[in-house]
A and B are shown apart, each in its own frame.
Chain A
Amino acid sequence: MEWIIVLVVVVALVLWVVGLYNKLVRFRNQVRNAWSQIDVQLKRRHDLIPNLVETAKGYMKHERETFEAITQARAAAMGAQGAAEAAKAESQLQGALSRFNLVVENYPELKANTNFLSLQEELTSTENKIGFARQFYNDQVMQFNNLIESVPTNIVAGMFQFTKSDFFEIEEPAERAVPKVSF
């Protein structure tokens, strides 16, 4: 008789652990999926930049330094390995682009160019997408990490070596340093 009770308890316990384990896996996959979204959008930005530079070059004859800064930052970002290095390179690219946006203000003909306008919309949207992908990723990481730290999932997480994921933070010192302009 007793061994039946023991068996029931053991089976219930195993099922419970399996449930928690599956929950952890589900959340971890969400984090991974969210990360791949960021990657896709970063690549998109890298692809857009040459077109933008090509279009702008015809109008902005005296801004060689700005273009060089963008091209270099792009190359560095494309070659970056790992999340930390990528974040640093991306923030530099971001800075170069926002400096470029300021310079554009001096070229009214460029701003009236429809091709440039649509490229600019693409770039704005890509920046937004990167931002939203980052936001979504960080939300997922937050939930996953909460799960790993809180009882009872922390026991299962410890048993199967689930580790906390890192947040994706981009520092934007260049953007902060940009002087305020008034129209």
Chain B
Amino acid sequence: MFELIRTNKRKSAGLIVVLGSLLMVLGYAIGLILSPDEPTLSYLFVLIGVIVWVVMLLTSLAGGEKILLSSARAREVKKADAPQLYNIVEEMCIASGLSTIPKVYIIDTPDPNAFAVGLKPERAAVAVTTGLMAKLNRDELQNVVAHEIAHIQNRDTLFMTLAGVTVGAIIILGDLFFRSMLYGGGRRRGGGGSNQGGAALMVLAVVMAILAPILARLLYFACSRQREYLADACAAQYTRYPEGLASALDKISRQATRHPGEIGKNKTLAPMYIINPLAARSRRAGWFSTHPPTEQRIKVLRSMGGDASLAAYEKAYQSIQGRKEAVLPPSARAATAATPAREATETGGGKAGTRKQWREVQDLLHKVDRYAVLACVCGMKIKLPPDYEESEVACPRCHHQHVIPPELLAVGALGAATAAKGKQA
């Protein structure tokens, strides 16, 4: 596991270097196109690109987590506010060997989803929506948190932030270039006087200026998909219960397909969620998708065959893809190739018996605990689930129409969100 973190860090540094050089090449190409006669101007554009990059990097290093969390309207909770969620986060820290417990945030929205931020484990945070807490049972919630903790532990949160910032700088530079071509580029081209070699170089520069932003994006998305697979595999290894993550992903994607929801409106955050709310529908892995297709992630998790090790995940992935293509880095597979299957089958395959039943009862009790109770004139007591979205309810016995008082639903954290939504509608 520690070897895995090391290779991840090394690979991340490599990719940042590649993206950074792409940025500089783009700057040079732009300078060349805009003024073929003055080479010094080319370096000016390289400088502009680097300055944009550095400024963006420093902003994200200084407080990127805070910006992201507040843009998601997440609020921090302590153990007393959400004991079960907090406990689950603690459990997954222990299972993953993460030394510091990340901060826990809750987002008030009925859409089930979760994400993690943090450039270092010491500054990391996990955010889940109230919808996720209402719709998943304890085991499923645990697996979702495990996936997010895996992102923190594998330093994906660091890497994706840095890569995202670099790609952003490349896109900004490309955009700047096209705007300047549109408004001022025409005048200069009349100058003429460039020889044959210069013309060839010019064509190359134009191609480069068009291709660089696209290339950077493709690279970024490919890495993002890879990291999602790795986080899924690690989650299965932490919880030893791949089925929990599979059914959680199933529930989240079903909900997201029905309506993209409010969290889909924030385009910056969308790729960071466990399932991208903008692309929950997609069935095929596109070149521009940030996550692998959910259906496939579920399928891989369900065909691990009672073994929760990373090697088993790799095998399941290959049998589903039908080709020998590694999805996890070699260090990950080597490090856990010997995870005893005994443990995987013991807790992963057959969580049967009293313990499971006890858990189900507890889940049920926790759920019922959050239900709002409405008394009808006919003596019927109507129990409203925490994710009830209508503002009215009909009594099942006497069909009397009740308007739900908002303070009734405001009992739990989720109730508050639902009540707010009711007011908007």
Contact = CB atoms under 8 A, between A and B. Distances in A.
Interface of A: 26, 30, 34, 37, 41, 98, 101-102, 105, 111-112, 114, 117-118, 120-122, 124-125, 128-129, 131-133, 135-136, 138-140, 142-143, 146, 175, 178, 180-181, 183
Secondary structure dominating the interface of B: helix
B94 A98 contact: no
Contacts of A136: 94-97
Contact of B362 (A37, A120, A132): A120
B228 to A, nearest CB: 23
Q: Which 3 A-B pairs have the closest CB atoms?
A: A125-B87, A132-B95, A132-B94
Given A125-B87, A125-B88, A101 B94 contact: no
Contacts of A117: 362, 365-366, 369
Contacts of A125: 84, 87-88, 90-91
A146 B340 CA distance: 13
A122 B87 contact: yes
Interface of B: 1-2, 83-84, 87-88, 90-92, 94-97, 138, 142, 238, 240, 335-336, 338-340, 343, 347, 353-355, 357-359, 361-362, 365-366, 369
B240 A135 contact: yes
Given A121-B83, A122-B83, A135-B343, A128 B91 contact: yes
Contact of A124 (B347, B362, B369): B362
A114 B369 contact: yes
A102 B84 CA distance: 22
A111 B353 contact: no
A135 B142 CA distance: 16
Most buried by A among B88, B138, B358: B358
B94 A41 contact: yes
Given A120-B362, A121-B362, A181 B357 contact: yes
B354 A178 contact: yes
Nearest to A142: B338
A101 B354 contact: yes
A102 B94 contact: no
Contacts of B84: 121, 125
Contacts of A140: 97
A26 B343 CA distance: 25
Nearest to B337: A146
Contact of A129 (B91, B335, B338, B358): B91
A128 to B, nearest CB: 5
Given A41-B94, A114-B369, A143-B335, A124 B354 contact: no
Contact of B87 (A101, A121, A139): A121
A1 B336 CA distance: 47
